[in-house]
């Protein structure tokens, strides 16, 4: 799997770079929207909130931004692109500490 | 310990019924997350990192009640997200109290004073506000990444206590916590007049931005042994004393991930409140099809190796209390003497 911290922007080459099952596992773990490309060429965008690969017909479940929930069989999926912003990426704790430290630093221009 | 007798009796009777029915796995507290939205972005929290369209969604009261009825646990904890941002929180709590469920509404209390003034809640033995407090002012504001939150929470606690509500606190301890300051914090909360306190080590959420400050197991034992060493008689806790003995390294427990099942927008979360390995469509499906043997410390699962969080181990402590004379005697002795 890709070594980068975030998968944002990843367009995996399914079958060559990585199997579809692993890409879908990554999509399930990803805290942003993805675009699912179906075998028939349709593209569906949304948040993958569940996947089940240990059943006879593996499937994923996603919420579209409209609120519609869809269940898609792995067999009908060609690939998944990581198109949405990764909401878990970033260093908010460090950023907050940095802001706090800067705020507490004495001003170079005394009143 | 500070749990009201009626609640203690309800829980004891419930656990004994499960034992008589020989149910190997049963829920103790339903973790009901009606929404993921929150008015804070704490560094140690992995619960709120979702796209905006997910954060805008919430469960309906009817969906929540269906889950409560399906699960059957005697206690319902409402975390989130921030439950006071849930538009139907008053109606939901009223319905749960009507079902005689002991409700712990887990809140950062930023909106508590406002909601109380709006008359959203009525005091009840069945309702307790469990206010997130991660230490004294400076420690708490640092943990929640915003200054002033401690003071807002204290104002909310005072308002709730003044109106006759049950109030407990819920604290997560992270790496670097100073035992002396934690003990001082306990004194401060008791001075405020809260009914009891709950404490737990933090869990290393894979999605939490701050990964540097989670406690590893041995460090957690050392910290809790120092924090809870010769506990003051005036400290009251809303937790099993055996769970504390576990935190201090004096008892060895295995995780009970089914003890606090979690229901949210996505369904019944596998396997526990902290890990998101998938979702089941019904509570029965969760209990019957989750591969429980893959979780807990003995499973060797690296995600479980250092976890000592109360949602996994407090149900174990309660089960041990009511499942053996030895456990019952140990819990009774700790409760009566105050010694851990």
What are B151-173's pLDDT values in tens digits?
Answer: 999 999 999 999 999 999 999 98
Whether A68 contacts chain B with CB within 8 A: no
CA distance B145 to chain A (A): 6
At residue A2, the pLDDT reads 46
Share the mean pLDDT of chain B: 93
**Residue A4 is assigned to a structural domain of this protein:** no
**Residue A81 is assigned to a structural domain of this protein:** yes
**Chain B residue with Cα closest to A61:** B266
**Chain A residue with Cα closest to B53:** A65
Distance of alpha carbon B91 from alpha carbon B59, whole angstroms? 13
CB spacing of A33 vs B279 below 8 angstroms:
no
At residue A1, the pLDDT reads 46
Asked if pLDDT for residue B293 goes beyond 80, the answer is yes
**Chain B residue with Cα closest to A92:** B209
Arithmetic mean of pLDDT, B181-194: 97
The number of distinct structural domains making up chain B is 1
How would residue B291 be classed by pLDDT, with cut points 50, 70 and 90? very high
Whether B209 contacts chain A with CB within 8 A: yes
At residue B217, the pLDDT reads 83
ipTM of the complex: 0.86
Residue spans of chain A under pLDDT 70: 1-5, 90-111
Residues of chain B with Cβ-Cβ distance to A61 below 8 Å are 266, 279
Distance of alpha carbon B130 from alpha carbon B120, whole angstroms? 16
What are B15-43's pLDDT values in tens digits?
Answer: 999 999 999 999 999 999 999 999 998 87
pTM: 0.90
How would residue B226 be classed by pLDDT, with cut points 50, 70 and 90? very high
Residues of chain B with Cβ-Cβ distance to A84 below 8 Å are 51
For residues B253 and B273, the answer to whether their CB atoms sit within 8 Å is no
**Residue A11 is assigned to a structural domain of this protein:** no
Provide the CATH number for the domain around residue B304: 3.20.20.70
- Full domain range(s) for residue A46: 20-104
Strand order, beta sheet including A34-38: A69-73, A59-63, A43-52, A34-38, A77-81
Distance of alpha carbon B308 from alpha carbon B253, whole angstroms? 9
Whether A31 contacts chain B with CB within 8 A: yes
CB spacing of A49 vs B279 below 8 angstroms:
yes
**Residue A78 is assigned to a structural domain of this protein:** yes
Provide the CATH number for the domain around residue A52: 2.30.30.100
At residue A88, the pLDDT reads 80
The number of distinct structural domains making up chain A is 1
Arithmetic mean of pLDDT, B102-120: 97
* Host H or E run for residue B8: helix B5-20
- Full domain range(s) for residue B183: 5-337
At residue A91, the pLDDT reads 45
**Residue A12 is assigned to a structural domain of this protein:** no
Distance of alpha carbon B15 from alpha carbon B257, whole angstroms? 16
Residues of chain B with Cβ-Cβ distance to A91 below 8 Å are 209
């Amino acid at each position: 799997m890709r070594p980068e911290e975030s998968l944002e922007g990843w367009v995996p080459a399914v079958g060559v770079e990585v199997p579809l099952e692993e890409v879908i596992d990554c999509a399930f773990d990803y805290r942003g929207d993805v675009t699912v490309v179906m075998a028939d060429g349709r593209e569906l965008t949304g948040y993958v909130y569940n996947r089940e690969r240990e059943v006879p017909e593996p499937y994923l479940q996603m919420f579209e931004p409209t609120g519609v929930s869809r269940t898609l069989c792995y067999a009908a999926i060609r690939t998944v692109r990581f198109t949405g912003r990764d909401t878990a990426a970033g260093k908010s704790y460090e950023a907050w500490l940095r802001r706090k430290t800067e705020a507490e630093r004495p001003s170079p221009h005394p009143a | 310990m500070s749990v009201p007798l009626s609640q203690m009796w309800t829980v004891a009777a419930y656990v004994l019924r499960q034992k008589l029915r020989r149910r190997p796995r049963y829920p103790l507290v339903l973790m009901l997350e009606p929404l993921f939205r929150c008015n804070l972005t704490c560094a140690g929290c992995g619960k709120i990192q979702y796209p905006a369209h997910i954060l805008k969604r919430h469960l309906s009261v009817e969906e929540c009640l269906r889950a409560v009825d399906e699960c059957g646990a005697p206690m319902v904890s409402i975390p989130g997200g921030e439950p006071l941002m849930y538009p139907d929180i008053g109606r939901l709590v009223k319905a749960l109290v009507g079902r005689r469920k002991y409700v712990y509404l887990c809140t950062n209390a930023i909106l508590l004073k406002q909601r109380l003034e709006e008359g959203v809640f009525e005091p009840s033995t069945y309702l307790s506000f469990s206010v997130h407090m991660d230490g004294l002012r400076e420690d708490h504001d640092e943990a929640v990444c915003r200054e002033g939150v401690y003071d807002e929470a204290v104002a909310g606690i005072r308002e709730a206590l003044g109106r006759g509500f049950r109030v407990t606190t819920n604290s997560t301890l992270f790496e670097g916590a100073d035992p002396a300051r934690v003990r001082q914090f306990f004194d401060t909360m008791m001075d405020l007049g809260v009914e009891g306190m709950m404490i737990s080590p933090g869990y290393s959420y894979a999605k939490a931005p701050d990964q540097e400050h989670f406690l590893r197991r041995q460090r957690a034992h050392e910290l809790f042994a120092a924090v809870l060493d010769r506990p003051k008689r005036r400290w009251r806790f809303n937790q099993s004393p055996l769970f504390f003995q576990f935190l201090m390294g004096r008892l060895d427990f295995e995780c009970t991930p089914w003890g606090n099942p979690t229901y949210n927008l996505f369904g019944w979360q596998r396997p526990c409140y902290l890990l998101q390995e998938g979702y089941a469509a019904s509570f029965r499906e969760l209990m019957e099809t989750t591969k429980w043997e893959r979780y807990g410390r003995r499973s060797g699962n690296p995600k479980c190796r250092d976890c000592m969080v109360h949602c996994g181990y407090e149900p174990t402590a309660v089960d041990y209390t009511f499942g053996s004379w030895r456990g019952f005697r140990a819990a009774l002795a700790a409760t009566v003497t105050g010694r851990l």
